[in-house]
Amino acid sequence: MNFQMDQKFKDYFKTNLRQVFLYLIDDCNLRCTQCLYKLEIGFQVCKKEIDFEDAVKLISDFREMGAIKLTLMGGEPTLYGIKENNRPLLDLIRISKELGYEYVRIDTNGQFNSELLEKPEFKMLDEITFSIDGPTKEINDPIRGYGSFEKCVKNIKRAKELGYNIDITSCISKEMIKRDENGNLYLDRMIKFAEEMGIDKINFHNLFKTGVPRDYFSGNIDITIKEWFNVWEEIQEKVENNEYSIPVRIPQSFTTKEEFEKYPKYYGYCSCKNGSRILAHPNGMIRVCSLMIGTPYGIARYYDNKIVWDDSPTNELLAHKMNEDTPCTNQFKNNKYGKYVPTCVSFKPKQNEMIWKELQWENNRNENTTSKIRTIIAYDDEEITNNIINFIKPLEYVEIVAKPLNGIDTYNKIVELKPEMVFAKFNMSDMNGIEIMRESKQKLSDEIPIFNIFAENLAENEMETAYNIVGKKLNALVDEDDQERIVDILERYKEYKEHQNK
């Protein structure tokens, strides 16, 4: 370890740390309505950029503690080291991959000079998340600044051409829950916009006033619980029915008291309690809950090569009943919501997100039943894919987590989502079955899924190579039209899992 750490800090995370949010800079070139990073609020910030050496030492120590996912944030992270042509940012990306982070992403407003996308180190990113707050400039620009929509879209298009894995993140403001002249929700149009742009997935943040400090700077574009429940169920139903072609992560935000009492472990998701994440800021603050950003509350401070646990009343964990499943502590403090209780801002049911999957959080929905079989269907023909999905859909014990349409994407989704079962066409033009198995094994070792290959036959040497790479995880050669066989494979695996659970 580079930092000398208080034992309380180590004890808090135990072996649970999985993801790091590294705030590189407390400054921004936009002034979005809902955001903290405005000059008038940031006046007390004297140290705006994280010290490069500290950043390297922090991500190295957090990696040693078990973190596998890193998000580079801010402020606007593409401003980090801008005077040096972003060299510190690019070096950090490279170093984080060298340290073994499985998934490194950047969260940006997309206003940067497109040349950044061409840099070899930038290309090492596993994901770029672009923030846009509406499917049109008329909705986005009043929130994020005039001209920001076009600039961001231009960079998204270029990133797409260059083959980046792209995510869009949007805040759900008043405008997003309105409907257009055809009765379509702008929220729904936002997802369609992402689909049409060829984006890989979309994520949403909620904007409520829930009695937390950020209420004071998050403008007046927030929505109410009543407005939210008029639209949430509509969108979530479409998500669960696989009506969108890309994964959609959408916060539930509230649930009823009754529902919470039924599944407290599930709805009680709280990063402060499960110790799976850490946020590190340029001013030395280390915290867990993002709702505490801009406050003196945190869990520790880093300085002079030490990480010092906060033993004072500003330790954010003091507010929590650490061993109890409760509604979101920070949002439930000063507010009463009638029959509703608040859930974590990161509580996004059934989300296709690496750490949510890693924690197997969906299993907490019903501890008595065996979890669903997380399956990928990979075929370079959308019609065939949809056909397979249609006959698997009625199997309530199967969850299709991705349907990649080429070999490279299949490999990416295996690594990102760690499914249990894969059905994949052998001969996809950009990466064949052997290459997918080899790369997956190299990256995930024993965590590779069970492979079922769509192919009539494999040459003897190919079969042997595949066995040498994945062993018994090579399960079957299947004909994509043989519905009975595919269902049988899934059914047998379900029985195997049930047996294991006994």
Collect contacts of 89-96 with beta carbons under 8 A, ≥24 apart.
89/24, 90/119, 90/121, 90/122, 91/52, 91/121, 92/22, 92/24, 92/52, 92/55, 92/56, 92/59, 93/121, 93/122, 93/124, 93/125, 94/121, 94/124, 95/56, 95/59, 95/60, 96/59, 96/70
**Residue closer to ligand SAM, measured from CB, 131 or 276:** 131
User: Is 86 one of the binding residues for ligand SAM (CB under 6 A)?
Assistant: no
Residue 83 CA to its chain's centroid (Å):
30
Per-residue binder mask for ligand SF4 (CB under 6 A), 109-128, x = binder: x-------------------
Q: How far is the CB of 143 from ligand SAM (least distance, A)?
A: 9
Cβ pair 105, 126 in contact under 8 A = yes
Q: What is the distance between the alpha carbons of residues 481 and 495, in angstroms, rounded to a whole number?
A: 23
> Could you tell me which residues are beta bridge partners of residue 278?
20
In the complex with ligand SAM, which residue's Cβ is closer, 217 or 337? 217
Residue 22 engages ligand SF4 in binding (rule: CB under 6 A): no
The full 3-state SS of 406-464, as one line of letters, equals CHHHHHHHHHHHCCCEEEEECCCCCCCHHHHHHHHHHHHHHHCCEEEEECCCCCHHHHH
109 binds ligand SAM (CB under 6 A): yes
Instruction: Identify which of residues 187 and 308 has a Cβ nearer to ligand SAM in the complex.
Output: 187
- Cα-trace Rg, the chain: 23
Based on the shown chain and the rule CB under 6 A, indicate whether residue 74 belongs to the binding site for ligand SAM: yes
| Alpha-helical regions (H) of 219-345 | 225-240, 257-262, 264-267, 271-274, 329-332
Stretch (H or E) spanning 71: strand 69-73
**What is the spatial distance between Cα 82 and Cα 388, in angstroms, rounded to a whole number?**
48
What is the pattern of x (binds ligand SF4, CB under 6 A) and - over residues 251-290?
-------------------xxx----------------x-
Residue 129 contacts residue 105 (beta carbons within 8 Å): yes
Residue 140 lies near ligand SAM (rule: CB under 6 A): no
Considering only 50, 55, 65, 73, the residue that binds ligand SAM (CB under 6 A) is 73
Q: Which of residues 2-41 bind ligand SAM (CB under 6 A)?
A: 28, 34-35
223 versus 398: smaller Cβ distance to ligand SAM:
223
The Cα 76–Cα 112 span in angstroms is 9
171 binds, among ligand SF4, ligand SAM, none (CB under 5 to 8 A by kind): ligand SAM
363 binds, among ligand SF4, ligand SAM, none (CB under 5 to 8 A by kind): none
Residue choice 140, 206, 218, 329 for contact with ligand SF4 (CB under 6 A): 329
Cβ distance to ligand SAM smaller for residue 44 or 182: 44
The 3-state DSSP class for residue 502 equals coil
69 binds ligand SAM (CB under 6 A): no
Shortest distance (Å) from residue 328 CB to ligand SF4: 3
Query: How many chain residues bind ligand SF4 (CB under 6 A)?
Result: 24
Q: CA 320 to CA 329: how far, in whole Å?
A: 6
Q: CB under 6 A: which stretch of 47-55, 186-194, 344-352, 423-431 binds ligand SF4? A: 344-352
Which C-beta is closer to ligand SAM: that of 140 or that of 452?
Answer: 140
Query: Coil, helix or strand for 221?
Result: coil
421 binds ligand SF4 (CB under 6 A): no
- Is residue 474 a contact residue for ligand SF4 (CB under 6 A)? no
Choose the binding region for ligand SF4 from 97-105, 226-234, 239-247, 322-330 (rule: CB under 6 A).
Answer: 322-330
**Residue 32 near ligand SF4 by CB under 6 A:** yes
d(CA 179, CA 187): 9
Is residue 388 a contact partner of residue 377, using CB atoms and an 8 Å limit?
yes
Closest CA to 244 of 232, 236, 252: 236
Picked from ligand SAM, ligand SF4, none, the partner binding residue 270 (CB below 5 to 8 A depending on kind) is ligand SF4
User: Beta strands 69-73 and 103-108: pairing type?
Assistant: parallel
| Contact partner, 328, from ligand SF4, ligand SAM, none, Cβ < 5-8 Å per class | ligand SF4
* Span interacting with ligand SAM, options 71-79, 96-104, 228-236, 416-424, rule CB under 6 A: 71-79
Which residue ranges make up the site for ligand SAM (CB under 6 A)?
A: 28, 34-35, 73-74, 76, 107-109, 131, 169, 171, 205, 207, 214, 218
Which residue ranges make up the site for ligand SF4 (CB under 6 A)?
A: 28, 30-32, 35, 37, 74-76, 109, 131, 144, 270-272, 289, 291, 328-331, 344-346
